[in-house]
Amino acid sequence: MVTEFIYANPTWLWGATLVAIFTAVSCGGLLLFHRLVHVDLRRAHNDLAGFIFAVVGVIYAVLLAFIAIATWESFTKASDIVENESDFAGAIYLDARGLPQAKGQAIRDAVARYVSVVIEQEWPQQRTGRIPDQGWKPLQELNRAIATLQPQNAGEAVIQAELFKTWNELYLTRSSRLSAVDGHIPDVLWWIILCGAAITTGYTFLFGFESFGMHLAMTATVAVSLALVIVLIIAVDWPFRGDVSISSDPFIATQRSWAAMAVNDSAAHP
């Protein structure tokens, strides 16, 4: 339910909601703690509390930064996979242009069907967090079109070998993309993130300040800072979901390049 709300709404909306909730809970906790533990008792231990808070804060900051960096790297890796997959599809189309029309057209049609299925059927399903399978059929059809080429000379044999090599790369990048669809932070890490945020923010309650308003502002600042990093992690956790997600633009660009080739061919051979 929560996951669906997050990735079905704009990032600014759920992000602002999360920051507001985290800040409200932190400030509410401080208000309750302030009434239960007298400020003079807390003020007497400010030096020790500050030292321990520095240790706790650094440990959690390092952990949170590590998770954020790892999540971002996974996101960029998935983006690179999509770029490579579209490039391999485009390479197959270009290599097939070196074959006679009767032989190359079947390969070009097969790879064009594959790209269309990826854009029109697989991408919408990926955005829901489900692993699509519609592209396997046109990918197998492409393999059969290459395998039944029956080259008549050395040049066609070289092109067929290159097509097989590129098809294998296309297969591997597709498999990697499907693995990335379901790649996200394990639940146990989310528990660690949330518990660490609660401990770090809650530790600010132990300080004693002459001005409660200043204490409230400092606690809110810590809460907002941690919440913003958590928003970043959530936004890129699922690489194909939400506003901050990988789009099918590389495949669309490949399709457009083919259309431009067709227009140029028509102009060259009216």
Record the tokens describing residue 207, joined without a space.
């300080």
93: in domain: yes
269 in a structural domain: no
**Euclidean distance between CA atoms 72 and 54, whole angstroms:** 26
Q: 127 near 238, Cβ under 8 Å?
A: no
- Residue 149: the pLDDT is 87
The count of other CB atoms within 10 Å of the CB of residue 206 is 17
**Residues spanned by the domain of 181:** 2-264
- Decide if 14 is inside a domain: yes
HEC readout, 123-142: HHHHCCCCCCCCCHHHHHHH
Contact at 8 Å (CB) between 131 and 159? no
The pTM assigned to this predicted structure is 0.87
Q: Is residue 270 part of a domain?
A: no
Residue 52 lies in a domain: yes
In a domain, 133, yes or no: yes
Residue partners of 118: CB distance under 8 A and separation at least 6: 135, 248, 251
Q: Per-residue pLDDT for the chain (270 aa), expressed as one digit of tens each?
A: 678 888 888 999 999 999 999 999 999 999 999 999 888 888 888 888 888 888 988 999 999 999 999 999 999 999 999 999 999 999 999 999 888 888 889 999 999 999 999 999 999 999 998 999 999 999 999 999 999 888 888 988 999 999 999 999 999 999 999 999 987 888 899 999 999 999 999 999 999 888 899 999 999 999 999 999 999 999 999 999 988 999 999 999 999 999 887 766 665 555
> Cβ distance 41 to 205 under 8 Å?
no
In a domain, 66, yes or no: yes
Q: How far apart are CA 109 and CA 188, in angstroms?
A: 46
Quote the number of domains for the chain: 1
DSSP 215: H
Task: Please tell me the number of Cα atoms within 13 Å of 210 on its side-chain side.
Answer: 0
Amino acid found at 19: V
